Amino acid sequence: MQPNVQIDTSQLPDEQGRFGVFGGVFVPETLMPAIEQLREEYARAKTDPEFGWQLEELLRTFCGRPTPLYFAERLTQKLGGPRIYFKREDLLHTGAHKINNAVGQALLAVRMGKKRLIAETGAGQHGVATATVAARFGLECVVYMGETDMKRQALNVARMEFLGAKVVPVTVGQATLKEAINEAMRDWVTNVRTTHYLLGTVYGPHPYPMMVRDFHRVIGDETRRQILAVEEKLPDLLVACVGGGSNAIGLFYSFLDDQNVAMVGVEAGGTGILPGQHAARFQGGRLGVLQGTKTYLLSDEDGQIQLTHSISAGLDYAAVGPEHSYLHDIGRVHYDYASDDEVLDAFQLVAKIEGILPALESTHALAYVIKHAREMPPNHVVVVNLSGRGDKDVDQLAQRLPRLT
Amino acid sequence: MTNRIDEKFTALKRDNRSAFIVYITGGDPSLERTIEIAATLERAGADVLEIGVPFSDPLADGIANQLGAQRALQAGATLPKLLYTISLIRSRISLPIVLYSYLNPIFQYGFPQFEEDALAAGVDGILFLDLPPEEGIDSSHAHRIHRIRLIAPTTPEERIRSITGHASGFVYYVSREGVTGERDDLAGSIPERLGQIRKHTTLPVVVGFGISSPAQAAQVAAWADGVVVGSAIVRKIGELGKDPGLSQKLLDFVTPIGDAVHSVVKGT
Ligand SMILES: Cc1ncc(COP(=O)(O)O)c(C=O)c1O
């Protein structure tokens, strides 16, 4: 029998934004009032039926919710293991789950009277989502993006520009997601009275990790209904990739209290678990404080943040959302990783036998399932969060992969 | 035991003058040169030395200080080495020294051990950029090592009260919304904000962020108990780099700013 651990996860975070020892608010003083304002406005919006109605309407008519739960029949046959379903967040408007959060925060920005949105982006999906809602609500939009990422996700840069956003290249450090967040924070500190920082994952100071989770929990809420309708039982396993952790927590959250539903978060294993070659915070990480929150991160013993590497820009980040750190430490979610090479193989397999080009981020989750399917009982049901589509990665992949095999 | 920061501000108050507070990045361009730079800054008239702990992700800093931190890290600066360097500086100069840091380097070192070692090295105060009072870290040496707190232009009055309640040594008013860096103009409403802050504390209140010229420094000195100049000096150090004449050139650059601060005698 399983030990019956009763964790009331719905009560987290506490008033200070803590998930156990993780989370909190670690920001320059200039931002404190804006964070307080956001916390208050979000608390009000949460209980305002008008807000709920507007959000639901936008998610349905603008974003395309609910997304399908798709039975990956040929992948299931091929692997000879459990029945595999894909939660099709890739079919959402703009091509990834990121839009769920962008729409919610844009509504809040409008309620707070902020006329300007800023965002960081790695893969460009969150940048595109932010540019999209800015256009939809008539707000000014500036997106910070590392120069390295602008090259590998050029398609998304063009999309943001067509949507009317200004994309500002960030050239310092390794010029990826972490540096883009630093630059967005600097902008926010400077323009805090007029600007809302539309943070793209379950990261940063409270209330972001909680609020972004709440905006994405619709993924798991829908999955629950959908899987019950087709399988008449809850899934045995949920799998999602973890960058900051928003698509993963979005899928997991509604199932946290169902002790029989196992969960795996898949981080970027890069080219190996050695400093600078991966972004698997639960492999080489330690507790630390970065960009507003206390969490597991890749830092050396002197407190300097380490370089990271991943084939996918969206997972190429040195820290992980504080709620994941908590779920890791209490043992509720298991965290594993997939290497760049495993991801490339998984991408080709899923493309060829399922007719879906997944985003490289989401492909990490697929790679985990492909690797471990044979260890799982055939009567089990697995749901993989297909957090985004791979169009943005086609250029990069065309250079690395053979087109005809 | 009295703290050098308290002694310094008491002496300045007696003379009706403001403190000239200089910020540099520890280990920029190297730890050895930081010793020489500290001694130079004392000669240039600095009253308090603020030493930045270099960090890979200085999100509250503008480009000058970002580059300073990058140079220091590239030259091999670490927190243990910096503390050792400060102990060497301490044997040469008597200025109060404040460490200015992001939390993670100190967090990895371990806060209680850090406080012990900083105190032993001769540090008189600590200022964290990303640690609001709500996230308080308890100090076992609160009376010996001051905890400098920041107040921003956006900080509402009730928060000023609670922040000053957690402060010691002096209070640092960030004169503008934004990151560190030189600016052509001074931020507005500094005297009004200082008036508001002084309603809640008797601690000295210093002003920083965006002050670089002697004229700006003199203007702020007329209002505040201290003037912080950082980015302009960090930029100068970056320009001089490995120049063997660094000390003299830095002295020539900094002295007029210090003189401008000290030229202001406040009415009683
Ligand atoms: C398709 C997709 N999935 C996942 C991620 C990773 O973010 P998170 O872990 O917050 O879901 C990104 C980020 O850019 C993404 O674009």
**pLDDT band at residue B143 using 50, 70 and 90 as cut-offs:** low
Provide CB contacts within 8 A for B201, sequence distance 6+.
Answer: B164, B167, B171
Does position B153 have pLDDT exceeding 70, yes or no?
Answer: yes
Ligand 1 touching residue A247 (CB < 6 A): yes
Q: Could you tell me which of B168, B163, B208, B201 has the C-alpha nearest to residue B50?
A: B208
Sheet with A166-170: list strands edge to edge.
A166-170, A140-146, A116-121, A195-197
Q: Could you tell me which of A87, A85, A119, A46 has the C-alpha nearest to residue A250?
A: A87
Mean pLDDT in residue range A321-342: 98
**pLDDT band at residue B183 using 50, 70 and 90 as cut-offs:** confident
Q: Per-residue pLDDT tens for A195-223?
A: 999 999 999 999 999 999 999 999 999 99
Which residue type is seen at A258? D
Among A16, A31, A299, select the one facing B104 at the smallest CB separation: A299
Going from the C-alpha of A82 to that of each of A383, B169, B240, the distances in angstroms are 10, 64, 65
Q: Which pLDDT belongs to residue A2?
A: 41
Ligand 1 touching residue A126 (CB < 6 A): yes
Which residue type is seen at A337? Y
Going from the C-alpha of A360 to that of each of A156, A327, A350, A393, the distances in angstroms are 14, 24, 12, 7
Percent helix / strand / coil, chain B, rounded to 5: 45, 15, 40
Helices (H) and strands (E) in chain B, counts: 11, 8
> Cα separation of A129 and A148, whole Å?
20
How many percent of chain A have pLDDT more than 90?
Answer: 95
Our CA-based measurement puts residue A278 at a distance from the nearest CA of chain B, in whole angstroms, of 18
State the DSSP string of B9-46.
HHHHHHTT--EEEEEEETTSS-HHHHHHHHHHHHHTT-
Residue B121 sits in which domain range?
4-263
Q: Rounded to the nearest 5 degrees, what angle is found at the Cα of B241, between the Cα atoms of B210 and B22?
A: 35
Q: Which pLDDT belongs to residue A9?
A: 66
Mean pLDDT in residue range A15-20: 96
Ligand 1 touching residue A212 (CB < 6 A): no
Active site residues of B: 50, 61
Does position A4 have pLDDT exceeding 60, yes or no?
Answer: no
> Cα separation of B235 and B251, whole Å?
14
Does position A403 have pLDDT exceeding 80, yes or no?
Answer: no
Mean pLDDT in residue range A102-109: 98
Range in A170-174, A366-370, A386-390 with the lowest mean pLDDT = A170-174
**Which tokens in the block code for residue A23?**
């989370």
Mean pLDDT in residue range A114-140: 97
> Cα separation of A9 and A25, whole Å?
20
Provide the whole-model pTM.
Answer: 0.96
Q: Which pLDDT belongs to residue A1?
A: 35
A325 catalytic residue (yes or no): no
Does position A6 have pLDDT exceeding 80, yes or no?
Answer: no
Helix (H) or strand (E) holding A334: strand A334-339
Does position A346 have pLDDT exceeding 50, yes or no?
Answer: yes
Q: Which pLDDT belongs to residue B142?
A: 64
Can you point out the beta strands (E) in A171-312? 195-197, 237-241, 262-270, 286-290, 292-297
A254 catalytic residue (yes or no): no
Is position B193 within any domain? Answer: yes
Q: Is the dihedral of CA A26, A32, A34, A36 positive or negative?
A: positive
Does position B165 have pLDDT exceeding 90, yes or no?
Answer: yes
How many percent of chain B have pLDDT more than 70?
Answer: 97
Tell me the CB-side half-sphere exposure of residue B224, using CA atoms within 13 A.
29
Our CA-based measurement puts residue B138 at a distance from the nearest CA of chain A, in whole angstroms, of 15
Is position B49 within any domain? Answer: yes
> Cα separation of B86 and B145, whole Å?
15
Look over chain B and give the mean of its residue pLDDT values, rounded to a whole number.
95
Range in A2-11, A105-114, B107-116 with the lowest mean pLDDT = A2-11
- What residues form DSSP beta bridges with B224? none
Specify the CATH number for the domain of residue B219.
3.20.20.70
Q: How far is residue B179 CA from its own chain's centroid?
A: 14
State the DSSP string of A2-21.
-------GGG-S-TT-EETT
What backbone torsions phi and psi does residue B78 show, to the nearest 5 degrees? Answer: -135, 165
Q: Where are the domains of chain A?
A: 16-60+98-212, 64-95+217-400
Range in A1-10, A258-267, A293-302, B73-82 with the lowest mean pLDDT = A1-10
Q: Per-residue pLDDT tens for A244-285?
A: 999 999 999 999 999 999 999 999 999 999 999 999 999 999
In chain A, residues with a C-beta closer than 8 Å to the C-beta of B150 are 28-29
Tell me if chain A has a CB within 8 Å of the CB of B58: yes
Tell me if chain B has a CB within 8 Å of the CB of A193: yes
Ligand 1 touching residue A122 (CB < 6 A): yes
- The protein residue whose alpha carbon is closest to atom 16 in ligand 1 is A125
Q: Per-residue pLDDT tens for A72-88?
A: 999 999 999 999 999 99
Q: Could you tell me which of A157, A104, A90 has the C-alpha nearest to residue A133?
A: A104
Ligand 1 touching residue A299 (CB < 6 A): no
Q: How far is the CA of A315 from the centre of ligand 1 (A)?
A: 7
Q: Which pLDDT belongs to residue A402?
A: 82
> Cα separation of A172 and B130, whole Å?
21
Is position B156 within any domain? Answer: yes
A and B: number of Cβ contacts within 8 A: 114
**pLDDT band at residue A5 using 50, 70 and 90 as cut-offs:** very low
Q: Is the bond preceding residue B29 a cis peptide, omega within 30 degrees?
A: yes
Q: Which pLDDT belongs to residue A404?
A: 54
Dihedral angle of Cα A152, A158, A160, A166, to the nearest 10 degrees: 100
A64-95+217-400 maps to which CATH number?
3.40.50.1100
In chain B, residues with a C-beta closer than 8 Å to the C-beta of A289 are 102-104, 107, 130
Q: Per-residue pLDDT tens for B208-258?
A: 999 999 999 999 999 999 999 999 999 999 999 889 999 999 999 999 999
Q: Which pLDDT belongs to residue A79?
A: 98
Q: Could you tell me which of B166, B179, B97, B109 has the C-alpha nearest to residue B132?
A: B166
Q: Could you tell me which of B192, B199, B182 has the C-alpha nearest to residue B235?
A: B182
If one counts the domains in chain B, the total is 1
Q: What atom in ligand 1 is closest to the CA of residue A201?
A: 10
- Give me the CATH topology for the region A16-60+98-212: Rossmann fold (3.40.50)
